[in-house]
Structure 1
Amino acid sequence: MPATAWDPSQYLRHAGHRARPFADLLARVPDLPSDAPRVADLGCGPGNATALLAARWPTAHVTGYDNSPDMLARAVADHAGDRLDFAHADVRTWTPDAPHDLIISNATLQWAPGHADRFADWITALRPGGTFAFQVPGNFDAPSHRLLRERAASARWRTRLTGALDHDDAVLTREAYLARLTRLGCATDVWETTYVHLLQGDDPVLDWVKGTALRPVLTALGEDAADFLTEYGALLREAYPRGPHGTVFPFRRVFAVAVKAA
């Protein structure tokens, strides 16, 4: 399959809803051990969430990492500054080149099979008292994702979309994350939250997933994606009917904050 193409403008259409889990994660991160912290944001996307890190720790050097040239270009254009920069990296292989006070990731690790196997390397790279924190979607059984997998596996599309949506083990359970991180010697807090988003506009759930879960499908189908979107969009309208105040879109997320022993 070709590398997934990302669209910063599409992603940012729901920036307010998407940023809230990151803000909730950030609120649980304790004080960092250094006066001039080193912070890494893995999977920074267009940089809007990364900018919150620079605001929280104004003396920190913050680097946002992503493997999408389009996302990085938008991040640099909108947010780069003296203490906030961006660099290309693949979360599956990224290794810190210096001790860090905080390594954080927002809605990215689900794209990296085996990501939990990297936890030991990242925690080793933390200064004593440093924090590793992340948030991942926990809604792969929700209608939005289940219907997407079913449509991609249908007779019409499965030949072109085989391998595009390999997400059976995209994230671990809360208990598995807790066990992994505590075994690495961290004081760990794991929790989940289901956000009940109220979306506006026509086909708002389809518009939401165009920025995230649908990207591998759109990349694989290219200019032939219109028919797939018509079929999938009809299923989403049935699963998420529009109400008098908008379309209700529940979205479950899993959080973890692990603090290395001081």
Structure 2
Amino acid sequence: MRHLLRLSLLGLLAGGTLAGCASTPGPQASFDGGPRSITLHHPASGETVSVTYRRADGYDPQALDRIATLFRDRRTGETVPVDPTLVELLADLRDRCGAGPDTPVHITSGYRSPLTNVTLARSNPNVAENSYHLRGQAADISIPGVPPRRLADEAAALQRGGYALYPHTGHVHVDTGPVRTWSPKGGDPRILEARAKAASGKAVAAKASPAPRTQVAAAEPAPAKRPPAKTAPAAAPAKGNDADLARVRMVLASLKEQPDASAKKKP
């Protein structure tokens, strides 16, 4: 019930009934009281919501609930009501950048729970302790076909809250807090953007240049087969050897024929 009462009150504020009690939006705000639609897309999950969030009699609570669901903290699943003036700001930025009414606004980061914000702040110096993401009043966005610099320039021209360009990620932060801007930790956005473009150009050039061909050395010719070494023929026996052998045999034969002197009887 409180949620519905809050949405009804915000609808009256947007319609101008209680304009004297609310902060007056910039001259570019589209609070004409007519129906208005928006398409939001969460790139990481692929989730898309397309709703008519404002009708002739005010904001549509069910449409805003669907937007809050898409804006939910992706780590904890928690949701909070999204500020309708933030939705109006997103629709105005889409129109000012020349995108069609059906062009989705990409929401990189919407609502953050206190736990998520503290966790991110430990590793990211650009996460503010009292971020408007904690209140459902901020979004990190991009629009297909729109350069991030153009989107940031249009946010600056509207003067409807805080804005900052993050060229290293390609998104723009917008919120419905006080009008202000800042440079991401690490340098001026224009310098970071130039560095990002230079690094991207080098990567494209490296990818386009053909890889150097590896020169394959010609195969070495196989060593010529050497003919087998010739074995020297065995030396022929000397001719004199046969004669000597014959004489030895004759001597042995004659010795056998002689009677053994020891075998004779004694007289």
Shorter-chain TM-score bucket reads: under 0.3
Larger relative contact order (CA 8 Å, sep ≥ 6): 1
Higher share in strand? 1
So what's the TM-score if we normalise by structure 2? 0.21
Higher Cα Rg: structure 1 or 2? 2
So what's the TM-score if we normalise by structure 1? 0.22
